[in-house]
Structure 1
Amino acid sequence: METISLQAQLRERGTKGSVRALRNQGMLPAVLYGKEVGNVLLSVPTKSLEQVITNHSIGSTLINLDVADGEKGGSYLVMCREIQRDPVRRELLHADFYQVDLTEEIETEIPVVLVGEAPGVKQGGILQNMLRTVIVSSLPTQIPERLEADISKLEIGDQLTVGDLEPPAGVRIVSSRESVIALVIPPAIEEEEGEEAAEEAEGVEAGTAPEQGEE
């Protein structure tokens, strides 16, 4: 499992204005929590965290969080558990970091990646990716970066569920086994709808056209 480093600073609880000023300085308000550390208010460089999010799967990446100064200063092994963004501008607003214990299992969300080529698609079917992440439980050092879902046997009408995934040793999938990851639907559904629409249109045109002999 990959481990990266991220710098952080202690901060005091402030008003909305002070939090806004913090963001304007290129720092992101964050919180670190865990059984040993309790609850600590932090700030981290926004650009640094954005790079972590862009280049790594935060659900499967351990972070050495180096906190400068103060009683709670020091290095903490953490995972980023939640990211908040502005719904319109998509700018980072807040981050939650969870202190992990390497001897205790944790639950986290990791991506599911489709691999292979479905025979049903070659036959004209349409592949639909219904589920892109699953929740797994394992020791922090055993969390996989992703799980692969093999679609190479999917014919038209077939589906792949969470129960079909094969997690590595030491990893347990928490998400429902019945949840559908991908399926191949027949193209006839769209074709029939198109044909019905065309027939209705022709019927309307035929109904509005004047009969022969009318003036």
Structure 2
Amino acid sequence: MATNLTVEKRNTDKRSILTELRSKGQFPANLYGYGTKAISLSVDEPEFIKAYREVGKNGVLKLKVDGKDYSVMVQDMQVHPLKNAVTHVDFLAIDLNKETEAEVPVVLTGESVGVKEGGVLQRVLATVNVKALPADFPEQLEASVEELNIGDSLSVKDLPTGKKYEILHEEDEVIASVTPPKLQDEETDVETEEADAEGDAPESSESVADDSQEEQKKDE
């Protein structure tokens, strides 16, 4: 059974209206996609968070707008970096019988042998693009790194596969690897040396000319 979310149409993007929305615990949103023109919406934040948690990142919501129902996925969500509050959402109206694409999180489990020996786990991909019917998207894809030694890597081919979804990446694309600690130290040393060299380098004629022009402007 789909999770319902009732929203209201919003007729303007004026700053005063947006401020009023947020003062009432609401945020602006847009609806577009299958079977609809673009519609501006206002959404109750607590109700949205409740519904979003129920269905997950790529879950399907039944959006109710002026008595009409739309099957939607959250296409984009913006969150205030300090207040941790939702500031805007894009809802994508979808055809439940047509495959679509979405990003699915990759969760690494366990502690690798290489890390226990002092290696460093380097994460390359945090999500992968997946194609499936809207109701068949996995919430996440898990892969164990426990058997990775120093120098080993985890690739897309190591992710769990399913008949109901397709991972849209090359099988040999790296998700994570375990690098030697010495390599990390060497890279840090090289970066430090390059930074020192840049700091000791003489100023170019262009930068000196720019400085002179700035001084002349100040004198004038």
TM-score (norm 1): 0.77
For the residues of structure 2 that align with 1:14 and 1:118, how far apart are their CA atoms? 50
Work out whether residues 109 and 142 of structure 2, in 8 Å CA contact, stay in contact via their aligned partners in 1. Answer: yes
Match of 1:63 in 2: 61
Moved more, 161-170 or 131-140: 161-170
Match of 1:22 in 2: 21
Match of 1:49 in 2: 48
Work out whether residues 125 and 185 of structure 1, in 8 Å CA contact, stay in contact via their aligned partners in 2. Answer: yes
Shift of residue 124, structure 1, vs aligned partner: 2.5
Work out whether residues 3 and 55 of structure 2, in 8 Å CA contact, stay in contact via their aligned partners in 1. Answer: no
Equivalenced residues, count: 190
Work out whether residues 4 and 61 of structure 1, in 8 Å CA contact, stay in contact via their aligned partners in 2. Answer: no
Deviations 1:180-201 (A, max 9, x none): 2111111233567899xxxxxx
Partner of 1:157: helix, strand, or coil?
Answer: coil
Kindly provide the amino acid, as one letter, of the partner of residue 138 in structure 1: A
Q: Assess, with a 3 A threshold, how the Cα gap between structure 1 residues 75 and 157 changes in structure 2: closer, same or farther.
A: same
Match of 1:158 in 2: 152
Structure 1 unaligned residues grouped into runs of 5+: 196-215
Deviations 1:150-197 (A, max 9, x none): 2232111111122332321121112454442111111233567899xx
Match of 2:12 in 1: 13
Q: Assess, with a 3 A threshold, how the Cα gap between structure 1 residues 127 and 14 changes in structure 2: closer, same or farther.
A: closer
Partner of 1:20: helix, strand, or coil?
Answer: helix
For the residues of structure 1 that align with 2:152 and 2:30, how far apart are their CA atoms? 44
Q: Which has the higher helix share?
A: 2
Match of 2:33 in 1: 34
Match of 2:113 in 1: 119
Moved more, 174-183 or 123-132: 174-183
Work out whether residues 84 and 93 of structure 1, in 8 Å CA contact, stay in contact via their aligned partners in 2. Answer: yes
For the residues of structure 2 that align with 1:56 and 1:119, how far apart are their CA atoms? 35
Work out whether residues 82 and 96 of structure 1, in 8 Å CA contact, stay in contact via their aligned partners in 2. Answer: yes
Question: What percent identity do the matched residue pairs reach?
Answer: 38
Structure 2 unaligned residues grouped into runs of 5+: 190-220
Work out whether residues 113 and 148 of structure 2, in 8 Å CA contact, stay in contact via their aligned partners in 1. Answer: yes
Match of 1:208 in 2: none
Mapped pair 1:82 → 2:80:
no
Q: What value does the CA root-mean-square deviation take over the aligned residues?
A: 2.6
Kindly provide the amino acid, as one letter, of the partner of residue 153 in structure 1: E
For the residues of structure 1 that align with 2:116 and 2:139, how far apart are their CA atoms? 30
